[in-house]
Amino acid sequence: MTTSTTKENKPLSRNKLLGIAGLGWMFDAMDVGILSFVMAALAIEWSLSPGQMGWIGSVNSIGMAVGALTFGLLADRIGRKRVFILTLLLFSIASGLSALSTTLAVFLVFRFFVGMGLGGELPVASTLVAESVEAKERGRIVVLLESFWAAGWLIAALISYFIIPNYGWQVALVITALPAFYAIYLRINLPDSPQFTAKRVRDRTYGQNMKAVWSKPYTKPTLMLWILWFTVVFSYYGMFLWLPSVMVIKGFSLIKSFEYVLIMTIAQLPGYFTAAWLIEKAGRKFVLITYLLGTAASAFVFGNADTTMLLIVSGAFLSFFNLGAWGALYAYTPEQYPSVIRTTGAGMAAAIGRVGGILGPLMVGALVMRGYEIGWIFGIFCIAIVIGVLAVAILGKETKQIELV
pLDDT tens per residue across span 129-153: 888 888 888 989 999 988 888 888 8
Greatest extent of the chain over all pairs of C-alpha atoms, in Å: 65
Spatial separation of the C-alpha atoms in residues 314 and 321, rounded to whole Å = 11
Burial of 215 (0-12, 13-18, 19+ CB in 10 A): exposed
295-312, pLDDT tens digit by residue?
A: 999 999 998 888 888 888
- 243 near 261, Cβ under 8 Å? yes
350-405, pLDDT tens digit by residue?
A: 999 989 988 888 898 889 888 888 899 999 999 999 999 999 999 999 999 888 87
- 119 near 350, Cβ under 8 Å? yes
Mean pLDDT across the stretch 203-209?
82
For residue 399, the one-letter residue type is: T
Q: Where are the domains of the chain?
A: 12-187+209-395
The model's confidence at residue 5, banded by pLDDT at 50, 70 and 90, is: very low
Residue 12 confidence (pLDDT) above 70? no
Is pTM beyond 0.95? Reply is no
DSSP state of 48: -
- 345 near 332, Cβ under 8 Å? no
Of 292, 171, 136, residue with least CA distance to 228: 292
- 87 near 71, Cβ under 8 Å? yes
Q: Given CA atoms 82, 213, 148, 164 in this order, what sign does their dihedral have?
A: positive
The model's confidence at residue 290, banded by pLDDT at 50, 70 and 90, is: very high
Residue 36 confidence (pLDDT) above 70? yes
Q: Which region, left, alpha or beta, applies to residue 366 given φ > 0 means left and ψ of -120 to 50 means alpha?
A: alpha
Of 353, 363, 280, 266, residue with least CA distance to 316: 266
Q: Give me the pLDDT at residue 39, please.
A: 83
Spatial separation of the C-alpha atoms in residues 129 and 154, rounded to whole Å = 23
Mean pLDDT across the stretch 17-29?
83
Instruction: Give, to the nearest 10 degrees, the angle between helix 342-369 and helix 219-240.
Output: 40
Residue 127 confidence (pLDDT) above 60? yes
The model's confidence at residue 198, banded by pLDDT at 50, 70 and 90, is: low
Coil, helix or strand at residue 177: coil
Residue 207 confidence (pLDDT) above 50? yes
Instruction: Confirm or reject CATH 1.10.150.120 for domain 12-187+209-395, answering yes or no.
Output: no
